[in-house]
Amino acid sequence: MSKIGVGVLGAAGMVGQRFLQLLQDHPMFEVVQLFGSDRTAGKKYGEVVRWQMDTDLPSGISEMVIEPIDLNNMNNMDCEVLFSALPSEEARKVEPQLAQKGYKVFTNASALRMDPYVPLIIPFVNHDHIRAIEEQRKQYDWKGFVVANPNCSSTPVVISLKRLHEMFGVKKIIVTTLQAVSGAGYPGVPSLDILGNVIPYISGEEEKVETEPLKMLGVWEKPDFRYADISISAHTNRVPVKDGHLVTISVEFDRPVSQQEILDAWENWQPPVMSMNLPSLPPRPLIYKHENDRPQPVKDVMTLSGMGTVVGRLRPCKVLDWKYIALAHNTIIGAAGCSILNAELYYATYC
């Protein structure tokens, strides 16, 4: 079986690099085109990229010439799938036009996440929302479609809450994020601002953490989404950690729930998508660590090759019901890895 040709939009950035790393030797997809800014277009990828991944830059990718994002010339391209690591404002202009041209766009950008017809998906959580693309095409008269993955800090929140919400009903949560510097891209936050410091504001992040989980924990009822009825309050902070967003969560349920019930819910959780044998699926979506000082980014961020969420420190909360810690890799399951998983989900569902 021949591989599906894919392109990467914003290929030289941090998330673009992660896409290329994860797509190397992928059993379904082959990178055939790279797209970038006017500064990088026309040059070989290896000449312009500041490669930040912990593996070598693939030689075949290094020699590829970056193409401009020129919508007038993006017809009948070699790729049928586009993975987008574009900045939000550029994504808002470009991605709908690419979908209209017939391309399958899987985006990490925030621009269209809350669009009423764009599914916002983590396959562990809401794989069935992929069906929303049918209504999306109808409403917008697109030949292709856009599927989004969530904010990197929303990811551990939603994955850790999904099974609890199904079983016990979540009413309220309070979230505080400790977000790694790689989430700001490269070169990111200046070293003099972040070393030995915590920056207690990340533009737009609190709003994303307070709204995106409601869409993902809700249901798709054609022709629209019905959001979960949960109150969320979030604080977001940038901390001097390279990779891994750690979140502290306090939660209130619809009914009294014991500690063992929560632990059993996490331990026994087998989302329906696990039966689909998608290439990037980890053996399980979530692991609980019983040590008092876990999870930690240094020790746990690459759990399940960065595609897992690590949870720990479940204990009673004096304000709500229970509180715990969750950690996820912000550029793998929190970004490029989730987007690739969404593409695998599409092909498993429709092809």
Q: What is the pLDDT of residues 40-91, one digit of tens each?
A: 999 999 999 999 999 999 889 999 999 999 999 999 899 999 999 999 999 9
Q: What is the pTM of this model?
A: 0.97
Tokens 């249901």 found at:
219
Active site residue 245: yes
302-330: per-residue pLDDT in tens?
A: 999 999 999 999 999 999 999 999 999 99
Residue 245: pLDDT above 70? Answer: yes
pLDDT at residue number 6: 99
Please give the mean pLDDT across all residues of the chain: 97
Q: Is residue 123 within 8 Å of 149, Cβ to Cβ?
A: no
pLDDT, mean of residues 273-298 = 98
Task: Count other C-beta atoms under 10 Å from residue 131's C-beta.
Answer: 14
With cut-offs at 50, 70 and 90, classify the pLDDT of residue 252: very high
CA torsion, ordered 244, 111, 123, 84, to nearest 10 deg: -80
Q: Is 152 a catalytic residue?
A: yes
pLDDT of the residue at 1 = 67
Cβ 179 vs Cβ 152: under 8 Å? yes
11 pLDDT band (50/70/90 cuts)?
very high
Residues 293 and 12: their CA atoms lie apart, in Å, by: 36
pLDDT band per the 50, 70, 90 thresholds, residue 339: very high
Looking up tokens 């709003």, which residue turns up? 207
Give the pLDDT mean for 289-296: 98
Q: Checking DSSP bridges between strand 224-226 and strand 219-221, what pairing results, if any?
A: antiparallel
Fold classification of 153-328 (topology level): Dihydrodipicolinate Reductase; domain 2 (3.30.360)
182-213 as b/e: b if 16+ CB within 10 A: bbbbeebbeeeebeeeebeebeebbebbbbbb
pLDDT of residue 321: 99
What percentage of the chain reaches a pLDDT higher than 90? 96
pLDDT of res. 187: 85
Rounded CA-CA distance 89/68 in Å is 17
Of the residues 127, 129, 165, 245, only one is catalytic, namely 245
* Cα–Cα dist 343/33, whole Å: 17
Answer yes or no: are the C-beta atoms of 48 and 30 closer than 8 Å: no
**82 - beta bridge partners?**
7, 105
What percent of the chain is modeled with pLDDT above 70? 100
Residue 211 near residue 114, CB atoms below 8 Å: yes
Nearest to 153 by CA among 42, 234, 60: 234
Architecture of the 4-151+335-350 domain: 3-Layer(aba) Sandwich (3.40)
From first CA to last CA, the distance across the chain in angstroms is 13
Average pLDDT over residues 277-283: 97
Packing angle of the helix pair 14-23, 337-350 (nearest 10 deg): 50
Which among 79, 127, 152, 338 is annotated as catalytic? 152
Confidence of residue 186 (pLDDT cuts 50, 70, 90): confident
| Predicted pLDDT of residue 163 | 99
pLDDT number for residue 188: 87
